Structure 1
């Protein structure tokens, strides 16, 4: 049995798969603690995983009008640069305080291995200080260079392998902006020497590559042939609702009252105008002649005054609701995309930012959903056309069903646990 600290920072999509992994490690007999933003303490407790709180400040920043505006603008290369500039002044001190939070959590746990999200900048340096084994856990393929596709977030120009690999080097240069802050943390807090490329920390202090475990299924993203042996794809890290989730009588009655509805939910992605988004969704459902369940999520939609053919819910576990609907419409977050595919349901991705465009394109290329409908271009007419396609095209439905069966046959958490145990054995 090993002491493991799993560290992640961000919204629910950045937390849920890491909680699933923590739970899997715990089930394998390890002493596991999850360190993440304070608001997710009850979520960890619900699943019986010990929890250490990190600051919520980064989420509070993204919840502000300025934060929402910045997120909505962070599409494409120049949009991402604009967002980074806009939030840098406020985010810099927050990230620095988060590094100290991670150090405090690690001092309390004294882990032998640290599994961490890329946003947890302190983690590999804290692991070095404590003599722990670092493992980078990711659910978006944005850390290991490949000739197959450009780094997520930069333009997917079809310029060949040279361009794709170049995008990873460009991103590494962007990370260098944080080197001063990270090295200050290394020297002043940890008592470690400065190091080149401190923010990215792709290698350990003695030059060995940090192992990267990807919680992604090869059913959607085949493993690039040029990845090194220390990069693995395990399958998705699913976290199902504990016990038997009980839906409201209203939801059960609605599902049983007619044809299977379409699920629509954008999580915490609200943008500047959630009312416009909701109007477009309702118009699309009515135009396509479909019933719908709208999940308002964490501020993502404003669903008042709906017709009888559309039901508003706050949320429902994806593993419960997705198998009961005809298709899923969402923002294209990694976890939501995975859940829809596992359920075998045709997908319409309406991406807002960064990796959501990547997943939307993969879904379309795999033939299990429509061409993405970016939220900035989302109209009732465009979404209605996508809904008609995914609910009437027999090929899309058959391919989605087949992919769902293959994904359900995988156990990404168990595979990731085995990978981590193997890394520990080698260390």
Structure 2
């Protein structure tokens, strides 16, 4: 079957689908990923087809609106700013997804940021579709929605907050979704009608994380599955830089620091803060530049690197300091590495809280209140308290024993 996986966002919103795509290709399917042009090499390097969606998320985050979003003082303000950015591009994005699917697709698999416009594309083309999500996406009494600060508002409050957030997100995508419906002669739907239609269909959604990390809520409807993680595909052609290998061999395991696709302000100031924190903690450090261009003055105990596969790097680290995006959090869990979460926005406070509750991470050090002293103390705790490492390694055995692609493989066999 010709399978199109459509995703939008940062590298962490694309990389897990390379692993899923390779597994589906091994099952005999012709797999293509539709995403932003900057990730074309990442996709093609895995032997998968590529179709372009508009936009460059890196440039978006560096824009004035992107900076205002990433530096928001609260999750609610950040979400409003994010939705404003998204809403201005919805019609263009919707037609791009439609054109990608029209190029030859038998089944459409949709990531969260694409599903509201991709679902009517599948309806218009008369092909099966399913969601492939990296975080919990449906209301439950058991925890607050992922785009809140995490925790709980109480059973009823959790459900009401999640429903309200779903409506707000659906409204953001409504113009693009209805433009697609018009393209295929389908009736227009309000945001609420679109959500109710998916529920009435029992539209299948596969959540690519482990039940050992977040158990499937008992009050979710049928059709919503938690499958286990989809690990990014590691290209056989990738080789670690000689400088990095020499640094790793020159001393004890270092601490990794990166904020991934986040661009929270002044890279020079944050680089100095990170270097000071690592020195205060008494550890060696591997600092990944990321989209911010984070840099520290390299010496015998510190090195700055570019992109490196987390699945290769993290098992070699004493601890991992990261922004707690879904993908990076998963990579740290896979490696059994203690974590120091530094959430910035979106779902990151949710994952930070979850990692800490599992006992595999220190209490979060939010970016908006970060200091060298706080970060240094958290790093010191992560590398000196053996309980973090013990819990992380125990959980790693559980998540690595799962085959997260099985549910999607079985879905394709059924359709």
TM (norm. structure 1) is 0.91
**Cα deviations across residues 99-146 of structure 1 (Å, max 9, x unaligned)?**
11111111111x22210012113211110011111201100112x211
Of 381-390 and 192-201, more deviation after overlay is shown by: 192-201
Which residue of structure 1 aligns with residue 282 of structure 2?
289
Cα distance, 1:202 vs. partner?
Answer: 5.6
Corresponding residue SS for 1:207: helix
| Unaligned 5+ runs, structure 2 | none
Cα distance, 1:302 vs. partner?
Answer: 2.7
Corresponding residue SS for 1:311: strand
Cα distance, 1:390 vs. partner?
Answer: 0.9
- Alignment of 1:255 with 2:248, yes or no, is yes
Q: Residues 58 and 347 (structure 1 numbering): CA distance in 2 closer, same or farther, change over 3 Å?
A: closer
2:197 to 197, 203, 213: 203
Which residue of structure 1 aligns with residue 111 of structure 2?
117
User: CA contact under 8 A between 2:16 and 2:233: conserved in structure 1?
Assistant: no
The separation in 2 between residues aligned to 1:421 and 1:187, in whole angstroms, is 25
Which residue of structure 2 aligns with residue 104 of structure 1?
99
Corresponding residue SS for 2:265: coil
Cα distance, 1:283 vs. partner?
Answer: 0.7
TM (norm. structure 2) is 0.94
- Once the two structures are superposed, the pairs formed by residues 316-327 of structure 1 within 5 Å of their partners are 316-327=308-319
2:352 to 354, 360, 363: 360
- Alignment of 1:67 with 2:66, yes or no, is yes
Cα distance, 1:54 vs. partner?
Answer: 1.1
- Once the two structures are superposed, the pairs formed by residues 269-418 of structure 1 within 5 Å of their partners are 269-297=262-290, 299-413=291-405, 415-418=406-409
Q: Residues 304 and 391 (structure 1 numbering): CA distance in 2 closer, same or farther, change over 3 Å?
A: closer
User: CA contact under 8 A between 1:74 and 1:353: conserved in structure 2?
Assistant: no
Cα distance, 1:194 vs. partner?
Answer: 1.2
Q: Residues 93 and 387 (structure 1 numbering): CA distance in 2 closer, same or farther, change over 3 Å?
A: closer
Q: Residues 159 and 124 (structure 1 numbering): CA distance in 2 closer, same or farther, change over 3 Å?
A: closer
**Cα deviations across residues 251-286 of structure 1 (Å, max 9, x unaligned)?**
111111111100111112121112222111111111
Which residue of structure 1 aligns with residue 53 of structure 2?
54
Cα distance, 1:173 vs. partner?
Answer: 2.6
Q: Residues 131 and 188 (structure 1 numbering): CA distance in 2 closer, same or farther, change over 3 Å?
A: closer
Cα distance, 1:353 vs. partner?
Answer: 0.7
User: CA contact under 8 A between 2:171 and 2:191: conserved in structure 1?
Assistant: no
User: CA contact under 8 A between 1:202 and 1:209: conserved in structure 2?
Assistant: no
The separation in 2 between residues aligned to 1:118 and 1:58, in whole angstroms, is 16
Please identify runs of 4+ aligned residues in structure 1 that moved more than 6 A. none
Q: Residues 178 and 378 (structure 1 numbering): CA distance in 2 closer, same or farther, change over 3 Å?
A: closer
Aligned residue pairs: how many?
Answer: 414
Q: Residues 74 and 12 (structure 1 numbering): CA distance in 2 closer, same or farther, change over 3 Å?
A: farther
Of 128-137 and 51-60, more deviation after overlay is shown by: 51-60
The separation in 2 between residues aligned to 1:177 and 1:393, in whole angstroms, is 46
State the Cα RMSD in Å.
2.0
User: CA contact under 8 A between 2:61 and 2:263: conserved in structure 1?
Assistant: no
- Alignment of 1:242 with 2:241, yes or no, is no
Corresponding residue SS for 2:355: helix
The separation in 2 between residues aligned to 1:19 and 1:219, in whole angstroms, is 23
User: CA contact under 8 A between 1:373 and 1:382: conserved in structure 2?
Assistant: yes
Of 342-351 and 251-260, more deviation after overlay is shown by: 251-260
Q: Residues 45 and 176 (structure 1 numbering): CA distance in 2 closer, same or farther, change over 3 Å?
A: closer
